[in-house]
């Protein structure tokens, strides 16, 4: 720590991204990225603007992208905020609406970044424990005076709560902000975005990193009341007016417009996920069925830590958590059918090897 670093950041926790080792080639299934490229229309749009765009600033209002997203979900651009990934959108929410000591809550097991934000912004935060079956106890969030941050479906459990439950949380108190992170909503879940028409204390956040196969482009967005979006833009213009590159703006708009490609990729991920989950169950693994682009499972006879290490040795990266409640589980991103068959094969081999050793 340098002489200049602020005292208040001494105990800040920084987010630890999924590992990206470079010592060999890995099948990277630890960060819920995509095994498919973005829509060809995205590359086309980026190529056609690339050369002239570099010599000029991007549109600080990101109008083309906000309009495209708005049209897709039935909102005017004034109700859409775009940022450098959902993470930055959440960051702008924090900067705009939260200050040290303010009370928020989120689950004990969820996307790690919420804790990071809560410590960075020195919030008074509570992490409500998930129920025994690892689902969210909705009552905790209905009957609290705290602002709420929830990932729906949750990460890494993959469990979703219905929109009617979100509505109960939102409707309880219009003076409480509710932020719903729908990073995985497109994989067969109902979005709560339509509740924005009825409630002015709801912020719905989505990302292009999962279902639109573009984590490297860094595009996320929020849909909320025109007032909330205008507040966030005010902060953005006071902090980083050109937060989105021209490539992200035109590429993102093209991705939204190519609905056919979007649906084909989603259907494929869902099909492969079901095949993979079925196969795991047939092999005797315990599977928590998800509606996301990842699977969450535990092995009856090999510790998750060992499985994770052995998979890495054979060139496959998956996510293992140290949190005691889920340290017997692994989270694995759904890749192509071929990739997942390779994983199943490896899992079988590792278990056999462990069994031999035990005998
Ligand atoms: C992946 C993920 C994000 C990150 O989105 P970016 O747009 O890549 O910043 C946000 N929230 C959850 C729950 C995620 O799993």
User: pLDDT digits over 271-282, tens only?
Assistant: 999 999 999 999
| Residue range(s) in the chain whose domain bears CATH number 3.40.640.10 | 40-258
- Ligand 1 pocket, residue 231 CB under 6 Å: no
Give the containing element (helix H, strand E) for 308.
helix 304-313
Per-residue pLDDT of the chain (359 residues; tens, 9 = 90+): 899 999 888 888 888 887 788 889 999 999 999 999 999 999 999 988 765 677 899 999 999 999 999 999 999 999 999 999 999 999 999 999 999 999 999 999 999 999 999 999 999 999 999 999 999 999 999 999 999 999 999 999 999 999 999 999 999 999 999 999 999 999 999 999 999 999 999 999 999 999 999 999 999 999 999 999 999 999 999 999 999 999 999 999 999 999 999 999 999 999 999 999 999 999 999 999 999 999 999 999 999 999 999 999 999 999 999 999 999 999 999 999 999 999 999 999 999 987 666 65
Q: Which class is 40-258 in CATH?
A: alpha beta
Q: How far is the CA of 240 from the centre of ligand 1 (A)?
A: 20
Which atom of ligand 1 is nearest to 85's Cα?
Answer: 7
- Among 29, 31, 207, 290, which is best to mutate for testing ligand 1, by the most ligand atoms less than 8 A from CB? 207
Question: Can you give the pLDDT at residue 274?
Answer: 98
Q: Which of 314, 317, 324, 297 is nearest to 350 (CA)?
A: 314
Q: 7-30+260-351: what fold?
A: 3.90.1150
Which atom of ligand 1 is nearest to 220's Cα?
Answer: 7
DSSP states of 250-305: HHHHHHHH-HHHHHHHHHHHHHHHHHHHHHHHHTT-EEE--SSSEEEEE-SSS-HH
Strand partners, 204: 180, 223
Query: Does pTM top 0.85 for this prediction?
Result: yes
Q: How far is the CA of 248 from the centre of ligand 1 (A)?
A: 16
- Ligand 1 pocket, residue 32 CB under 6 Å: yes
- Ligand 1 pocket, residue 220 CB under 6 Å: yes
| Residue range(s) in the chain whose domain bears CATH number 3.90.1150.10 | 7-30+260-351
Name residues whose C-beta falls within 8 Å of residue 246's C-beta, 6 or more positions apart in sequence.
Answer: 49, 53, 54, 56, 58, 59
- Ligand 1 pocket, residue 33 CB under 6 Å: no
- Ligand 1 pocket, residue 224 CB under 6 Å: no
Question: Can you give the pLDDT at residue 201?
Answer: 98
Count the helices and strands in the chain (H runs, E runs). 11, 13
């Amino acid at each position: 720590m340098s002489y200049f670093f602020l005292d208040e950041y001494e105990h800040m926790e920084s987010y630890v991204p999924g590992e990206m080792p470079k010592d060999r080639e890995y099948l990277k299934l630890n960060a819920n990225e995509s095994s498919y490229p973005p829509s060809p229309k995205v590359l086309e749009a980026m190529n056609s603007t690339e050369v002239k765009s570099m010599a000029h600033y991007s549109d600080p209002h990101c109008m083309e992208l906000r309009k495209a997203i708005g049209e897709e979900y039935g909102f005017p651009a004034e109700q859409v905020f775009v940022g450098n990934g959902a993470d930055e959108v959440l960051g702008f929410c924090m900067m705009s609406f939260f200050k040290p000591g303010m009370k928020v809550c989120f689950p004990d097991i969820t996307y790690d970044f919420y804790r990071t934000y809560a410590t960075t912004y020195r919030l008074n935060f509570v992490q409500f424990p998930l129920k025994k079956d690892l689902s969210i106890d909705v009552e905790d969030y209905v009957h609290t005076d705290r602002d709420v941050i929830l990932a729906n479906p949750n990460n890494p459990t993959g469990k979703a709560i219905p929109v009617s439950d979100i509505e109960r949380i939102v409707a309880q108190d219009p003076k409480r902000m509710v932020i719903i992170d729908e990073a995985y909503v497109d994989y067969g879940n109902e979005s709560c975005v339509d509740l924005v028409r009825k409630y002015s204390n709801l912020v719905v956040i989505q990302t292009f990193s999962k279902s639109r196969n573009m984590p490297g482009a860094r595009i996320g967005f929020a849909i909320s009341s025109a007032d909330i979006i205008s507040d966030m833009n005010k902060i953005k213009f006071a902090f980083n007016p050109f937060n989105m590159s021209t490539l992200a703006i035109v590429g993102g708009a093209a991705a939204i417009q190519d609905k056919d490609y979007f649906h084909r990729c989603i259907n494929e991920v869902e099909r492969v996920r079901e095949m993979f989950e079925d196969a795991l169950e047939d092999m005797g693994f315990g599977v928590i069925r998800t509606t996301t682009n990842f699977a969450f499972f535990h092995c009856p006879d090999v510790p998750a830590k060992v499985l994770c290490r052995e998979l890495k040795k054979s060139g496959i990266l998956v996510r293992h958590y140290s949190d005691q409640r889920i340290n017997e589980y692994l989270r694995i991103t759904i890749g192509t059918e071929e990739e997942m068959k390779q994983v199943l094969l490896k899992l079988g081999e590792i278990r056999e090897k462990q069994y031999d050793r035990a005998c």
